Amino acid sequence: MASGSTPLRCVRLSCMSFYDEIVNDYEDITAQQARQEAADAFCERFVDLTHSETILDAGCGSGLYAMTFARMGLDVIGEDISESLLAMAKRQAMDEQLDVRWISCAFDEINSHVTRSVDAVVCMGNSLVHVLSDNDLARVMMNFSKVLNPAGLLAIQVLNYDRLIKQQERIVGVSRSGEKEFIRFYDYLDRLVRFNILTIDSCGGELSTHLSSTLHRPYRVDELSEACKLAGFEEPELFGDLHMGPYNPAESASVILLARKA
């Protein structure tokens, strides 16, 4: 290593360990405050469209969508595999006196932990891409279906991988908080991508860097649509943003699939 260069610490982690590793910086990395306005718009539009009263937020993270729905007076369950992120969500919900039931489990264990049916399941924030295989995806989708009321609705939001893969875009997000900068980028593998967060910290005038990585499955729209239908959902309706605008495969940054249980 050249003299004067900054050592790069690199850690490649499982999904749960990955979020435990970054939990202290999670809301800065994801620009949580900036995302709140978009979450408000989505939740209001979603409830207007679906008239849902009971909602499961699958892969809820630190509770952005779960608590937004709860502020609207809905009956909400928040699920995530990361105990660390759920602890953040619980603290904020307690501070705001929001009534949310929090569950720690994997996606394919949801049916064992949710004992009553709900009107809607939402899986937002690119959470589903942590499911890496076709068989696991099928099990997850069946878990979503089993906890839904008849004619219940499923909403899935992922990045627009049809566009990302075609253009081989690597940088998917940059954010800054104080003396820390967070760069989110992909390494494209065979059927998977390696998701990396590079943290650059200039605290105290000394530069340090840290790289955390985990694997994602970059699901295309047709793959998710087929998985929905195989799990007993109707053909999904597609939206291109959190305001439920039209989906453009060549331009939309993300895609939301809205599917009704058949």
Is residue 16 very low, low, confident or very high in pLDDT (cuts 50, 70, 90)? low
List Cα–Cα distances, 182 to 171, 211, 212, in angstroms: 11, 10, 11
CATH number corresponding to 8-22+164-216: 3.10.450.630
Q: Look up the CATH architecture of domain 27-160+219-260.
A: 3-Layer(aba) Sandwich (3.40)
Is residue 6 very low, low, confident or very high in pLDDT (cuts 50, 70, 90)? very low
Judge whether residue 22 has pLDDT over 90: no
The percentage of residues in the chain with a pLDDT greater than 90, rounded to a whole number, is 73
Judge whether residue 227 has pLDDT over 60: yes
Higher pLDDT, 54 or 180: 54
Q: Worst-scoring range by mean pLDDT, 47-56, 167-176, 204-213?
A: 204-213
All structural domains of the chain with their residue ranges: 8-22+164-216, 27-160+219-260
pLDDT digits 0-9 by tens, 64-73:
999 999 999 9
Q: Are 153 and 122 in contact (CB under 8 A)?
A: no
pLDDT value, residue 218: 97
| pTM exceeds 0.75 for this model | yes
pLDDT digits 0-9 by tens, 105-155:
999 999 999 989 999 999 999 999 999 999 999 999 999 999 999 999 999
pLDDT value, residue 216: 95
pLDDT value, residue 31: 65
Label residue 152 exposed, middle or buried (CB < 10 Å: 0-12, 13-18, 19+): buried
165-186: average pLDDT: 90
Q: Mean pLDDT, the chain, as a whole number?
A: 90
Structure tokens at 108: 């394919």
pLDDT value, residue 205: 74
Helix (H) or strand (E) holding 43: helix 32-50
Structure tokens at 178: 């104080």
pLDDT value, residue 178: 84
Q: Worst-scoring range by mean pLDDT, 16-30, 173-187, 247-261?
A: 16-30
